[in-house]
Chain A
Amino acid sequence: MSTIPHLNTLRSGRRGPRLRGRRGPPHAGSEDAGRFDEEDVEIGKDRIIQQTDQDASSSRMSAVSLGYLDDPFAKTLFPAGEQVPKRYPIINRGTYVRTKAIDKLVIRFLETNPNEQKQIISLGAGSDTRFFRLCAGKYKVRYHELDFESNVVPKRAAIRASEELSRMTLPSDNGSTYHLHAIDLRDLTNKSPPVLPGMSTEIPTLILSECCLCYLPPDTASSVIQYFTMNIPGSIAMILYEPIRPFDSFGKTMVSNLGSRGIELRTLKRYYSLDAQRQRLRLSGFKEGQGARDVYQLWESDEWTSKDERERIEKLEWLDEIEEWKLLASHYCVAWGWRGEPFEQAWKEVEGGRTPDEQRDDEVG
């Protein structure tokens, strides 16, 4: 579908290989104002990806303000003075389902052998509040958040400005620590990658990627995962939240629309279905088990969203766009994979295997 208004065509044009770290002479045609240096294009693109956190933060704030989510920390981490954004009901519902599904997996992990020291590494965490909501003061967790410096700086400032958050991020007696790392994830794929201060390689570790690795080239995304699976030889698990199904007409339009905003979902075609995501996790070393559900399934399944919760959410806003909700929600998924304990115990009963519906994905893929 090429009928979408292209608002940002300059930034979404074809790009060559990344030139990061190989800064060459300026582009031969750089006097020509109409042409962009490829490096500028890359920097511009990074900025757009960094800004996707503002979108996520706004959506979280919208969902919280309408009562979908109970998150007292969202406001503290939301830019002061900015108006609370209003999102469409389907976006609010999606934000709710995604947050709750990931929370469920994280909580099951934390609740299994609760006295054991654990580690969570959140990639591209941005303004995420999960540490404050689920972990601080409750569990023995080393919590790491990794993001671009431009996203880490305001978060650090917001934490410092809040007495409550500052207190929560102090190391506690039980061994819990909170680490905010300003890092470009691609640096983890260097030949001699940096060491993450405070990262343990010996305790059960959960890696989170909520709409983060999908912006990297597929091989880079794999290398980032490998950085962790190689450095942590023992128990390790991963939760991904990503778009899927780029090949049907909704998917194609999604790719084109986001492309016009300069957002390229680079891993989408490779990990195009629930099964492709399970496979990916298996091949990435999370051999013991894998699961995947699209957001629509997570919403409809009683195991994932209780009947009471569904009824509560349905009453919050009139959601007229039922067909659109199905479309949108079936194009995002939560996928998880693991090896070792306590993950096996925590997750083996969680519903995430292949369903008959997935046959259709194989046909279009």
Chain B
Amino acid sequence: MSDLDKAIAQLRACRPIPEIQVRELCYKARELLIEEGNVVSVDAPVTICGDIHGQFHDLMELFRVGGDVPDTNYLFMGDFVDRGFYSLESFLLLLCLKVRYPDRITLIRGNHESRQITTVYGFYDECLRKYGSANVWRYCCDVFDYLALGALVMGAGHDLAPIDAPFADPSQSNTDADDVEIELLNSQGQILSRFPRNRGGTQDTSQLSNTPSSPSQTKEQTPSRNGAPGTGATSTSGGSANNSGGAVLCVHGGLSPLIDSIDKIRLLDRKQEVPHEGAMCDLLWSDPDEIDGWGLSPRGAGFLFGADIVDCFNRKNDLSLICRAHQLVMEGFKEMFSSTIVTVWSAPNYCYRCGNVAAILELSEDGANAGYAPRSNGDMNRSNGVQSEKEDKRPGPGRRYRVFDAAPQDSRGMPAKKPVADYFL
């Protein structure tokens, strides 16, 4: 058993590894990450995960539900640290897995992978508490600076790869398995529901979430794609024929008014602390919202962006979907703007307080293309700027969401530190 495998075993048991080993790990990880572009290319099949926030036991539950590394190909969209009690163990385990199986796991940067934010939201204090010095925090922050800013998933299939799974409710078992666009599974691997491709109807897939129970969930209408994109962009694309699922852009937060093409992301100098403003900051901080164009973010960094912005960006870059994390959604995932963007959230009962479920998103490999599809990036199929007619079928890839609760209580030890003033007393 190599030292790395030993470290993985130790971290899987939620025990920190010695400082000297952390240093070595971080050094190796940096060497690996420095070779990655700002936007990593990832081939489907892949399982896309949102925020983890140091909820180690829930990360273990995620691996149980989604399959272990390296059997499953994972893409984590950042925010590994802060808030939970085990940021250190969670991040180091993911980093070990990255070094051990570099082609089977992709890590991109979240807004919490930052020196400034981790001093406010807990990771710094946790390192200090567990090692007695800030060295480990420094090593980790150095790794943060090298994490990619986004990932582009290629070759995701229009159709979901069939799985041999029973229905949670046996009376539904005769549901048509053909032409499924969205499949929803519980943590036992049972199918909760299936949604076929929308045949000219106006099925609102956001409705497949449960009735919202929190005020953050009040906006659930997904306006249909109409009206011209509010920018002067003339390059649109109906998607190329040999890319049936379309490319999927994964980024922690969202879009930036300074970025109108994926190539512009590639040109950024990312090897730095997350700046307070600018394109790199926006990618990690922005949120989609039911507005037109761009708006100010209540977070104090990044922007809000509307359906028109997403539509325009996706057309220009030949994307079928933007996948992002960053926002707590009570049902684990939330599709917006006619399923052109989805939020995936993977920290169940966030902060041990919010009572939400978590989700991961599986994209299948496109059978026809054996997992590889060239990306046209707006250069092919140029049209004259007129939007194509609304298509009867959604262009997006088949999406399988697995929804899970917080890890059972007996799987976790006592928290390292009792939470204080969680509420107003």
Contact = CB atoms under 8 A, between A and B. Distances in A.
Q: Do they bind each other? A: yes
Contacts of B409: 2-6
Contacts of A357: 215, 218
A243 to B, nearest CB: 7
Contacts of A251: 355
B425 A211 contact: yes
Contacts of A58: 420-421
Contacts of A322: 298-299, 327
B330 A7 contact: no
Contacts of A319: 299-300
Contacts of A317: 120
Contacts of A159: none
A327 B215 contact: yes
Interface string A328-341: 10101000000000
A250 B354 contact: yes
Contacts of A332: 424
Please tell me the size bucket of the interface on B.
Answer: 35 or more
B69 interface: no
Main secondary structure of the interface of B (DSSP, over half): loop
Nearest to A2: B409
Contact of B418 (A7, A88, A258): A7
B354 A324 contact: yes
A3 B216 contact: no
Contacts, number: 125
A249 B356 CA distance: 7
B415 to A, nearest CB: 6
Contacts of A221: none
B215 A243 contact: no
Given A253-B353, A257-B352, A324-B351, A3 B213 contact: no
A330 B300 contact: no
Interface in B210-242: 213-216, 218
Interface string B230-274: 000000000000000000000000000000000000000000000
Given A59-B424, A248-B213, A323-B328, A3 B300 contact: no
Contacts of A243: 423-424
Contacts of B349: 1, 3-4, 253
Contacts of B412: 5
A332 B121 CA distance: 23
B74 interface: no
B424 A91 contact: yes
A262 to B, nearest CB: 12
B406 A3 contact: yes
B301 A318 contact: yes
A136 B176 CA distance: 74
Nearest to B85: A5
Contact of A7 (B213, B301, B414): B414
A252 interface: yes
Interface string A261-273: 0010000000000
A52 B420 CA distance: 11
A94 interface: yes
Interface core residue of B116, B120, B301 (most chain A CB under 10 Å): B120
Contact of A249 (B214, B218, B352): B214
A251 B330 CA distance: 13
Contacts of B300: 314-315, 318-319
A330 B120 contact: no
Q: Which 7 residue pairs spanning A and B have beta carbons closest together? A: A249-B355, A253-B355, A248-B213, A323-B328, A52-B425, A3-B406, A55-B425
18 contacts: A3-B405, A5-B409, A5-B415, A85-B420, A89-B120, A211-B425, A243-B423, A248-B214, A250-B353, A253-B353, A254-B423, A314-B298, A314-B300, A319-B300, A323-B327, A327-B215, A330-B215, A332-B424
